[in-house]
Structure 1
Amino acid sequence: MKKTLLISMVTAALVCVFALPSLYAVDAPGDMVLKAPAGAKMTKSPVAFSHKGHTALDCAKCHHKWDGKGEIKNCSVEGCHADTSKEGKKKPTSFYSAFHAKADTSCVGCHKAMKKAKKATGPTKCGDCHPKKK
């Protein structure tokens, strides 16, 4: 009886470890360039970004309005980070804040938090993400 229970428990654990993650797996796009939405003025160059380089993160960390099932929408959609005005730059609903806020849900915030924790991280300075325009 104990042997059967042990085998059942090990089998269940293996199913959880190997099968369940594939149910929630999302095939992230590869490399892309992040640009401001149409009509917004961008003062720095667009940012080269690799989703594949961020696959260790939970998608919902950045895509905080995603329910885990439907299509993941762009940050600049209405109701998320659609404010592209200069006046709204520091508001949580601004397109700028989605990438630059101090919160660890933004690129800069996450990278700086990782750097502070002495973990390997991506760029934390403006010029590292926004190379000078040629």
Structure 2
Amino acid sequence: MLVSACATPPRTALPDETTWNGRLSVRIDSDPPQSFSAGFDLRGSAHTGELQLTSPLGNTLATVLWSPQGAELRQGQQVTARNSLDQLTTELSGTSLPVAAMFGWLQGQPSKDTQGWQADLARQPEGRVTARRTAPLPAAELRIVFQP
């Protein structure tokens, strides 16, 4: 009961809002190498959306919000704002992460504007997507497991 009291309940989807949830992991071959995994709740669109990252216990680790006006990362009371989602993810991880492209990939559609990322959508019907980037460096890999 104490653990569930700390968990963040899922937000209710708005009518006609695209939502996805599952787990994701990111590995960046930087110096030193970085890796991260979390539960996720993705909603909205490539242009305006929200990505909430959660711990295995359901606690919110961070929320990323974006729109044509900019992007921000919320971690508790700390807010980091930047002019774009690419700028924000690059600053935080050392490489641009394809958050906006995830909407198409989760639907089984390749994305053209992914800054070097190539998605393997062969297992998308099973709820699995893997994307890799070899250039520009650092190389990176994103794995997504979701409810199809």
Fold equivalence (TM over 0.5): no
What is the TM-score when the length of structure 1 is the normalising length?
A: 0.27
TM-score (norm 2): 0.26
Higher strand proportion:
2
Report the structure number with the largest CA radius of gyration.
Answer: 1
Q: Which structure is richer in relative contact order (CA contacts within 8 A, separation 6 or more)? A: 2
